[in-house]
Amino acid sequence: MSAPMTGSRRSVRREAWRRFMRHRQAVLGLLLTVLLALTALMAPLVAPHDPDEQTDIVATRYQPPSVEHPMGTDRFGRDVFSRVVYGARISLMIGFLAVAIAISIGTAVGAIAGFLGGWLDTTLMRGVDLLLSFPRLVLLITLVALFEPSIALITLVLGLTGWMGTSRIVRGQVLTVREMEYVTAARVLGFGQARILVRHILPNVLTPVIVAATLGIGNTILAEAALSFLGLGVQPPTASWGNMVASGRDTMLNAWWITTFPGLAIVLTVMSFNLVGDGLRDALDPRHVV
């Protein structure tokens, strides 16, 4: 339940924080997420080798996991662990930026549709229905195929295909909040529509959007990995978990580690974000208790 008055908002936040910290899985997810973020930020310090380093390929390639190479080496003799660490940078960066784009578009579209209503609302929501009737991955690979793949393009395209769910949530929230008394009160006091939107409605819409964003990061990382796996995303030699899995595919039966470890990194990362998202939902919305 969101508090309409600023006075009690702080205590509501504190209460939410308390609920979140009592949620064991959520705390675990948060710790993992922070750890992953730190790993990505300090990749040069964490990684034992240069991710692109190649010396005497024939002697160093396809080495199974060892103390020197905890996740083994790939077909160019590069250290898989170091590449996984650097891959975290790519995955997290694309995940965060794409979700930021998606959330911005989704919030804007949803707020406009919900607040202004009328034909604009109908048109926008029909458009959302239309976009949702495409499998996201089909839309992604079709879009990406039309251009030269680059990290910027992938981020943009992931953002452009990920905002529809948010816009529906925001529109629904705006419609509910709009009818509440304090908005009516603000209108009576003569505040402009823009100000009502920014000051009174957006803070209330924030809760479900934060939850959707957290869960969205996990989905976006999965989508990026799938694109890169198909060779339509991040291009080698830049390390991304998806293209690393793909690179080990042909030699998987002899060198299982090249595909296995980057995949585990994806699972762990996505799971962390899902844990945090679930915890946030339970903490921010006490009605949703299962």
Partner 1 sequence: MASGGCALIRFALRRLLQAVPILVGIVTLIFLLLHLAPGDAATAYFNPNVSPEIIDRMRENLGLDRPIHEQYFRWLRAFFTGDFGYSFGQHRPVSAVLADALPNTLVLSGVSLVLIFVVGCAVGAVQAVRQYSKLDNVLTFTSLFVYSMPGFWLGLMLILAFSSPALPDALRLPISGVTSIGYEFMGPLGKLLDRARHLVLPSVALGIASAAGVARYMRGSMLEVIGQDYIRTARAKGLPERQVILKHALRNALVPIVSLLGLYVPLLFGGSVVIEVVFSWPGMGRALYNAILGRDYPVVMAASFFFGVLVLAANLVVDLLYAAVDPRIRRA
**Residues at the site binding partner 1, with contacts judged by CB under 8 A:** 25, 126, 129-139, 141-143, 145-147, 218, 222, 225-226, 229-232, 242, 245, 249, 252-253, 256, 259-260, 263, 266-268, 270-271, 274-275, 290
Q: How far is the CB of 274 from partner 1 (least distance, A)?
A: 6
List, as own/partner pairs, every contact residues 278-282 make where C-beta atoms lie below 8 angstroms and the sequence separation is at least 24, other chains included. Answer: 278/25, 278/26, 278/29, 279/20, 279/23, 279/25, 279/26, 279/27, 279/29, 279/30, 280/20, 280/26, 280/210, 280/211, 280/214, 281/211, 282/19, 282/20, 282/23, 282/26
Q: How far is the CB of 23 from partner 1 (least distance, A)?
A: 13
Which of 236, 272, 275 is closest to 39 using CA atoms? 272
288 three-state secondary structure:
coil
Comparison of 45 and 145: residue with beta carbon closer to partner 1: 145
Residue 1 and residue 176 in contact, taking contact as beta carbons nearer than 8 Å: no
Q: How far is the CB of 36 from partner 1 (least distance, A)?
A: 13
Q: How far is the CB of 133 from partner 1 (least distance, A)?
A: 5
Rg (CA), the chain: 22
Comparison of 79 and 224: residue with beta carbon closer to partner 1: 224
Comparison of 75 and 136: residue with beta carbon closer to partner 1: 136
Q: How far is the CB of 247 from partner 1 (least distance, A)?
A: 12
Comparison of 39 and 219: residue with beta carbon closer to partner 1: 219
Comparison of 27 and 143: residue with beta carbon closer to partner 1: 143
Which of 176, 217, 183, 209 is closest to 197 using CA atoms? 183
Residue 69 and residue 81 in contact, taking contact as beta carbons nearer than 8 Å: yes
Comparison of 60 and 243: residue with beta carbon closer to partner 1: 243
Q: At what angle do helices 257-284 and 6-22 cross, to 10 degrees?
A: 140
Q: How far is the CB of 69 from partner 1 (least distance, A)?
A: 20
Q: How far is the CB of 125 from partner 1 (least distance, A)?
A: 12
Q: Phi and psi of 50, rounded to 5°?
A: -75, 130
Q: In whole angstroms, what separates CA 128 from the centre of its chain?
A: 20
Bridge partners (DSSP) listed for residue 79: 73
